[in-house]
Structure 1
């Protein structure tokens, strides 16, 4: 998260249209729903209406769309026609899920699009389109406002487009939900970036970083297996995990008590139980867990169960590393995994 001092510095750079800050940050403007470059020629918003992001992907996931004046995805160096055409195509239909035929319809090579987007924005085109689509779906969750309030009066994003994006990921538009089968979803800001929490009135079902690759599929799998719609809202388990996460990041909490609902096979659940048993500040290898389960040859199955965990941090899959000592994989990214391990280790060291 960008600290208060840096936010003030970025705001002064925004007001001054300081070109030295190009590429260092993007600003999301709450009143218009767009995100801009530091040198955008538009009238400057008030400080309290600004949110600052280090990458375009973060701004997209926070539900902001690219500014039409400063075109933050096209400057400071002009991008190729391929990138320009695809960015415009996403804005014309932001809830679209792209397939091979869609690229062929535009006479664009899919691998070229991937390569050029990766070089220009640090993410592939599919990741960009997903971030834009997820941003739309997460918009109501993030703000906690009603469906009507989330629709922009400019008509730039149609209400039907918003409902389509929401229903494709969450299962039903917020205005068409049967209260009988409902899970609530909420946006939680943390030191390592925003997370999405999903819970009913009794337990927490999902806790993931919103930029986690595959989050859409996780949410879809969750709603299908529980036969529920997922709508914006807050429940007591969500309030509980928000409090506990704050304490965890402050270093004052090492054990979570929020009730959990784990959707998994008996084997997956046995792996997750082993994860919870790993003390903070320590790590285990996939082999260690397989041995502890009495199935020493099940390393690959353990790794798959580890990756299927939908309760980040709370069920600490980040404490599992390769037998070589390398970090291995992590859905939230290796930078976060390393930070979490160092954070927990430093907390343990300070207690000794």
Structure 2
């Protein structure tokens, strides 16, 4: 078996033992990947092989967003990075309006894929995660006592008081007023 046949078999089989040994690039998409990448198998005639990342970049190929050959580490899991980016974004900018589409554009993966990954990693959808953060912040503001419920609703990012009350009750099991009285 020739070297190019071995390389091609590694690509077809998504063989991770060849990671860091070589990279393959798809001429039609101008993207290069690790051999273990789970992307769709390209046509063999559209594949070029590189033994160094620099060579692929110099040939005007971009790193794959799925397998991230440019960031590859021994235990690197690109999906965990995307979930972490979304978590960090929601925790720091919880008061802004977020849709699944906006979040997926921010991390560079499809909305459906992000929803599935996020739920697998956290046990919550991005919306549930965001609501949990908002309610935690709302509870602190309620205990502070300087703002009324409607002001808190808008301060933590809800656009309507009804959404705030429903999310608060779902998360805490009580209304904001009852929560404040019980503390």
Q: TM-score scaled by structure 1?
A: 0.21
Structure ranking higher on relative contact order (CA contacts 8 Å, 6+ apart): 2
Higher helix share: 2
Using the size of structure 2 for normalisation, the TM-score is: 0.40
For the pair shown, the structure with the greater C-alpha radius of gyration is 2
